[in-house]
Amino acid sequence: MKIGVIGIGKLGLIAAEVMADAGYDVTGYDVNNVKSSKITVMPTIQDAVLGRDLIFIAVPTPHVKEYSGHIPCMELEPKDFNYDIVKSVLNDVNKYVTQNQLVVLISTVLPGTTRRELRPLITNARFIYNPYLIAMGSVAWDMVNPEMVIIGTEDGDVTHDAKILIDFYKTFMVNDPRYEVGTWDEAEGIKIFYNTFISTKIGIVNMIQDVAEKNGNMNVDVVTTALSRSTHRITGPAYLKAGLGDAGGCHPRDNIALRWMAEKPDLGYDMFEMVMRAREVQAENMAEKLINLALQHNLPVWIHGKAFKPNVTYIDGSYSLLVGHYVEKAGVELNYVDPLTGDIYPSIRGVVLMAHHAPTTYGNTTMQQAEKQDFYCTIEPGSVIVDPWRYLTHEQVNKHGCTLVQYGNTRIIQ
């Protein structure tokens, strides 16, 4: 089969290149000047879809910047995603396709959107909704090792078109995932509620972290490890490490959009408001810890890691920025260190929140080799290191003249 991909940005380009690596002839189009050595980038949508068997639509459905989760947003009016870009692309694609071609939409939308607003725009070709479970920074791996492949058809049956798509993915999937086929609305629901389950789970474990901080004599990891092993009734181990809140370009914004959905069909309650409010209050609690330490030691606050997770450049939905918002609001000096966002410092001194434990070494540092995996730079003596993940040890930190605070571990004897 020949493949076309419209929207070769952060997700679409890597997805297209994975398909090309599997031996498929892939063309792509994007409004930006994108280059690739693996796919043929076309100058127009028409060129990208001409003669293609499968046409994947991978364009964004954004919120406005203020809704990304990097600053408090609970007081803002709940809003749905913006579908202007995907509608424009579907309209353009429809001009050049035929019934011999299958259009596959992978953009995230709320339940009911495909049936109500998007499927009617494709009248000249067949259509499937197929959202991906992919994280920035691991797109290529996630593409071939998904927990499941979500496929939505009009009636939820494994139609001929769904089978074509399943057979296509089977040619390059590494982990032999399960294929979940439902209606367009069910596929939309699987994608969006998968994300909000993760957000809720993180909110709960970070609530336990707050309890440990306020109650005392508790190490949050003892509690969450016990819960992670309780797979019979309540949970599994994934996302049961307390630390920073849910972040990135998907999960916070998905919960914000679901708040809008809770109003429109009049569910009568808004669980998503609780999830997002807990996320913000938990960030404020963490900021309060940093502020108190900064005032106690007369030091500025540094946040070690500005991107929403290590090893990526993206700050969309960054929890570090949300914590930093509350620190700055209190009038305390704040800085970030993160080489991948351009915040580069050879050494720092202050109250340091270890939002990231560096997975690789950046630049020059005087730290011992074993510790280069933790720090982006030298942390000078006299600093207070606040580790919300509780990876660092007191011995490791003390020998450099620093003090360690394991956020979420308030046991008297540590």
The answer to whether residue 108 sits within a structural domain is: yes
Residue 359 has pLDDT above 90, yes or no: no
Residue 252 has pLDDT above 80, yes or no: no
DSSP letter at 80?
P
DSSP letter at 146?
-
Residue 414 has pLDDT above 60, yes or no: no
Are the beta carbons of 324 and 356 closer than 8 angstroms? no
Angle at 74 between CA 71 and CA 79, to 5 degrees: 100
162 falls in which pLDDT band (50, 70, 90)? very high
Reduce the secondary structure of 215-251 to three states and give it as a string: HCCCEHHHHHHHHHCCCCCCCCCCCCCCCCCCCCCCH
- pLDDT tens for residues 212-235? 888 889 999 999 999 899 888 877
Output b/e per residue, 195-206; b: 16+ Cβ within 10 A. Answer: bbebbbbbbbbb
- The enclosing domain of 134 has a CATH number of 3.40.50.720
The answer to whether residue 345 sits within a structural domain is: no
pLDDT at position 367: 34
The answer to whether residue 297 sits within a structural domain is: no
Residue 372 has pLDDT above 50, yes or no: no
The answer to whether residue 200 sits within a structural domain is: no
The answer to whether residue 198 sits within a structural domain is: no
Q: What residues does 336 pair with on adjacent strands? A: 303
Quote the CA–CA distance of 228 and 240 in Å, as a whole number: 6
Quote the CA–CA distance of 69 and 203 in Å, as a whole number: 14
Query: Which sign, positive or negative, has the C-alpha torsion 20, 26, 30, 36?
Result: positive
What's at 197, amino acid-wise?
F
The answer to whether residue 98 sits within a structural domain is: yes
Quote the CA–CA distance of 247 and 24 in Å, as a whole number: 34
Are the beta carbons of 351 and 361 closer than 8 angstroms? no
pLDDT at position 251: 61
Least confident stretch, 105-114, 117-126, 239-248, 375-384: 239-248
pLDDT at position 288: 96
Query: Which sign, positive or negative, has the C-alpha torsion 156, 158, 162, 166?
Result: positive
The answer to whether residue 213 sits within a structural domain is: no
Token output for 395:
């011995």
Quote the CA–CA distance of 28 and 35 in Å, as a whole number: 10
Are the beta carbons of 111 and 98 closer than 8 angstroms? no
What's at 317, amino acid-wise?
G
pLDDT at position 364: 39
Helices of type H across 171-216 = 184-215
**Number of domains into which the chain is organized:** 1
pLDDT at position 184: 95
More confident residue, 400 or 177: 177
What's at 243, amino acid-wise?
G
Residue 368 has pLDDT above 60, yes or no: no
Three-class DSSP category at 19: helix
Residue-range definition of the domain harbouring residue 51: 2-67+80-182
What pTM did the predictor assign? Answer: 0.77
Q: Cβ of 170: how many Cβ atoms within 10 Å?
A: 12
Q: What is the mean pLDDT of the chain?
A: 88
Instruction: State percent of the chain over pLDDT 90.
Output: 62
pLDDT at position 167: 97
Mean pLDDT: which of 266-275, 363-372, 399-408 is highest? Answer: 399-408
Are the beta carbons of 184 and 115 closer than 8 angstroms? yes
The answer to whether residue 126 sits within a structural domain is: yes
pLDDT at position 10: 85
Residue 371 has pLDDT above 50, yes or no: no
* Secondary element (H or E) of residue 183: strand 178-183
pLDDT at position 74: 73
61 vs 54, 80, 91, 248, 312, CA distance in Å?
Answer: 21, 9, 15, 15, 21
369 falls in which pLDDT band (50, 70, 90)? very low
Q: What residues does 3 pair with on adjacent strands? A: 26, 54
